[in-house]
Structure 1
Amino acid sequence: MRYSDTRKLLGTSIEITVISEDAKTPDRIAYVFDYFFSIEQEFSGFLPESSLSLLNTHKKASVSNRFIELMSASKNMYKRTNGFFNPLVSVAQLGYSHSFEKGDFEQTRGVIDTDFDKVQIEGNIITLQPGQSLDFGGIAKGWAVDKASSLLRLFGYDDFFVNAGGDIYASGTNENTQAGWVIGIENPFTEEIIASLILRDAAIATSGSYKRKWNIEKKKYHHLINPTTLGNENAIISVTLISPECTNCDGFTKSVFNAPVSEGLRLIEQNGMEGLIFTSSGQLLYTKGLQEKYDLEFTEINN
C-alpha cells in the first residue's frame, strides 16, 4: 500500500511516500515531518529566533550537537570543493532578504568576510568574525533528507521516497516496478521533462539558476552566488548529481554550478558521483554512469 503526504517546510514542498502494509505508517510519516519542522526552526535564516539567526546576530553562540554536525558537514564540503561551496556566502547579499513568497528584494550593504577558516568552533560554541553570516541554504535540505531517510529506516521501512524541493532520496522500489523509482530530468530552458532515469537506494539533487530569480534596479539575479567571485554570472545553468547521500548531492550541485565547466566535471569525477550539466550556451554534458547504472533515457515520461 502507498502512503504519501506533502507539506510546506524549509521554504519548499516536501513529499514523503512510503510503500508498506503497516497501518502506523501515516503517524510515522507525520513524525518525520515534525523532524523537518524542527530543522526549519533551528536553521532557517528567515526566522529571527532560530539558532542560525541568533548566531548571525550575536556572532557567538552555544549551539546543539545537531548544529555542530551540520557545521562539520559544511566545513568538509568547503574543503572538498576548493571553496566553491561556502556557507558564509549569503543570498541576502543579492536581495534574497525575506522570501520569494513575499516578493520583497532589497540588496544589503556592508563588509563581507567569506573566509570560512576563520570560523571558530570550540565544543558547542561557534564564533563568527565581523562581517560573517552563515547560510546553510546550500546544504541543509539535502542533509535534512538524509536525516529523514535514516528515521524511516529506523522505523523498518525499505521502500520509500523523500523529496524536499528536488533534493531526493529514493529507497528500494515502489508498487509499480521492482527496478526503483522513476526520476524525470528537466530541460532548464523549456522546463519540460526530457529524460528519465531509475533511482534505487541513492540520492539525486538539481541546482540551477532558471527558477529562483529576481530583478533589482533592472539587473537580473538568481539565488546561487559564486563564493570565489561573489558574482552571479555562470557558465552553467543547471546541474543534476547522483550520490549515495543527499548531503553530497546538495552541496556539490552548488559547487559544480559555480565552477568553470571543466572544473565542475573534475569535481564530479573526483568525488565518485554521476551527473548531468546544462551549460548556459545550451550544451548538455553527462557522465557515462547515468546510462550504465541508472538507465538514463532521453524520452518524455508521464508525471
Structure 2
Amino acid sequence: MKRLIKNKKFRLAFKISLLIGMVLLVLDQNNAFRKRKTLSEARLLMDTIVRFDLCDDGHTKQQTKNAFDEAWNRFKDLENKLNVYDKKSEVSKINDSHPEQVLISNDTYGLIESAIDYHDKTNGAFNICVGPLIRMWKEANKNNMIPSELDYLKIKDAIDIKNISLIEGDRAVLKDEFAKIDLGGIAKGYAVDEAVKIFKQHGFTSFLIDAGGDVYASGFNCVGKPWRIGIRDPFNRSNIIDVVALTDSAVTTSGNYERFYQIDDNKYSHIFDPHNLMPQKNVLSATVIAPTAQEADVFSTALCVLGEDEGLKIIERYDNKHAAFMIISSDKGTLEKRLSKHYKKFR
C-alpha cells in the first residue's frame, strides 16, 4: 500500500489517525487488497488526513500518477482558497475587508451561494455566518472562561446569513463589522466531490475518498462488492456501532464528541445552533448518506442542530438516496438510535 508521507509532522499525524481512527472506518480492506490491486495515497490537507484508494483498472503508472496529482492539486487549491485560518485565503480576505467588496473565484462564489441555499433548506440550521461564534468560543476555551452576556450581545446581529452578499458573479461583501464566514461545514465535502470528478475523468470507476470522515465510495470495492463503512461508537472508539454498504454514495458523520471546547470540567460541542447561538446539545452524532459528499457534509452538521424529529423530517423530504442515522442522548441520560425511513437499505 503506497502512502505519500513527506515529513515527520505528517507521519505523526498519520499514526495518530490510525490509532484514534475517524468517526467512519473503511472495512474489509485486507480482503479487497488480496483480490485486486489497490493504489493508495494519503496526505495532510484541510487540517485532516485525506486518503485516496483506487482499484486498479489497468491504467499505466503514468496515467495513475496523473490522476493522483490532479486530485491532490485540486484539494490544495481549494484549501488555499477556503481556509479561514490562512490570511491569504479568499475566505479570510472576505472576513477582513468589511465593508469593501472582495473579488473571489468561481469556487468560493459557488460555495457561498450553495451555503445560502442550504441555510434555507435546513431551516437556518446550516449557517456559514457562525464565524464570530467559533472565534468567541475558541478564545473562551483558551482562557478557560465561558463567554459573557456582553460577548454575545456584541456578535448576535453578525450571525444573520443576510450579512453575506454576493455581487455580479465574482464578488462578496460582509454587511456587519463583526460578521465572519466559515466554510468548514461544506468545504471538505466539496473538495471530495471535485476529486471524484477528476478520478472519473481519468477513467477510474472503483475508488474511495476519505477526507477525515467525509467519505465518497465510487463503484464497488476491489472484490466487486459495495464499500463497507463502519460508524464508530461515540463512547467506545474501539467499537463499531453500525455498518453501511455504499456504491456511488457519500457518507459523513458529525458529532459533539469528536471535537469540542473544554472549560473547567465541562465539554461543549464545536457545532453551534444559529438560532440560540449556543453549542448544540443532545445529538451525539448524526450520520448522513447522500449522492454527494457536499450534501452529506452539510446535512450531518444541520441534523446535529435540528435534533432527531425536525432533522429526520428534512432528510425524508428527499429520495431514497438520502438517509440518516442519529445517536441521541435522552433527558434520562440514555442513548437512543433514530433512523430515517431509507437508512436500512444501506445496511
Q: Return the TM-score normalized by structure 1.
A: 0.89
Q: Which residue of 2 aligns with 1:275?
A: 324
Q: How does 1:235-246 map to 2 (within 5 A)?
A: 235-246=282-293
Equivalent position to 2:93, from 54, 61, 76: 54
- C-alpha contact 2:137 2:261 (8 A) present in aligned 1: no
Q: Which residue of 2 aligns with 1:84?
A: 125
Tell me the distance in 1 between the aligned counterparts of 2:143 and 2:89.
21
Cα offsets for 1:6-60 (capped at 9, x unmatched): 1111011101111122122134213211211111111001111111111101123
Q: Which residue of 2 aligns with 1:159?
A: 206
> As a proportion of its length, which structure holds more helix?
2
Cα offsets for 1:76-122 (capped at 9, x unmatched): 1111011000000122231179xxxxx95788854341221242211
- C-alpha contact 1:181 1:199 (8 A) present in aligned 2: yes
Q: Which residue of 2 aligns with 1:29?
A: 68
Partner SS, residue 179 of structure 2: coil
Cα offsets for 1:220-252 (capped at 9, x unmatched): 222111111111131211000111111111111
1:207 counterpart = 2:260: no
* Offset of residue 290 of structure 1: 2.6
Note the aligned Cα RMSD (angstroms): 1.9
Aligned in 2, Cα 1:218/1:187: closer, same or farther, shift over 3 Å? Answer: closer
Which stretch of the first structure deviates more once superposed, 215-224 or 247-256?
A: 215-224
Letter in 2 for 1:51: E
Tell me the distance in 2 between the aligned counterparts of 1:254 and 1:137.
10
Q: How does 1:1-150 map to 2 (within 5 A)?
A: 1-20=37-56, 21-22=58-59, 23=61, 24-59=63-98, 60-90=101-131, 91-95=134-138, 109=151, 110-112=154-156, 113-123=158-168, 124-130=170-176, 131-150=178-197
Tell me the distance in 1 between the aligned counterparts of 2:341 and 2:127.
29
Tell me the distance in 2 between the aligned counterparts of 1:262 and 1:72.
27
Matched residues, number: 288
Partner SS, residue 136 of structure 1: coil
Partner SS, residue 271 of structure 1: coil
Tell me the distance in 2 between the aligned counterparts of 1:205 and 1:35.
21
Q: Return the TM-score normalized by structure 2.
A: 0.78
Partner SS, residue 250 of structure 2: strand
Structure 2 segments unaligned to the other structure (5+ residues): 1-36
Aligned in 2, Cα 1:26/1:104: closer, same or farther, shift over 3 Å? Answer: farther
* Offset of residue 218 of structure 1: 4.9
Structure 1 segments unaligned to the other structure (5+ residues): 98-102, 297-303
Identity %: 27
1:289 counterpart = 2:330: no
Cα offsets for 1:142-197 (capped at 9, x unmatched): 11111110111111111111111111110011212x22211101111222212212
Aligned in 2, Cα 1:181/1:96: closer, same or farther, shift over 3 Å? Answer: farther
Tell me the distance in 1 between the aligned counterparts of 2:211 and 2:114.
19
Tell me the distance in 2 between the aligned counterparts of 1:57 and 1:218.
34
- C-alpha contact 2:280 2:304 (8 A) present in aligned 1: no
Q: Determine which structure has more spread, i.e. the larger CA radius of gyration.
A: 2
Letter in 1 for 2:155: V
- C-alpha contact 1:44 1:52 (8 A) present in aligned 2: yes
Tell me the distance in 2 between the aligned counterparts of 1:288 and 1:54.
43
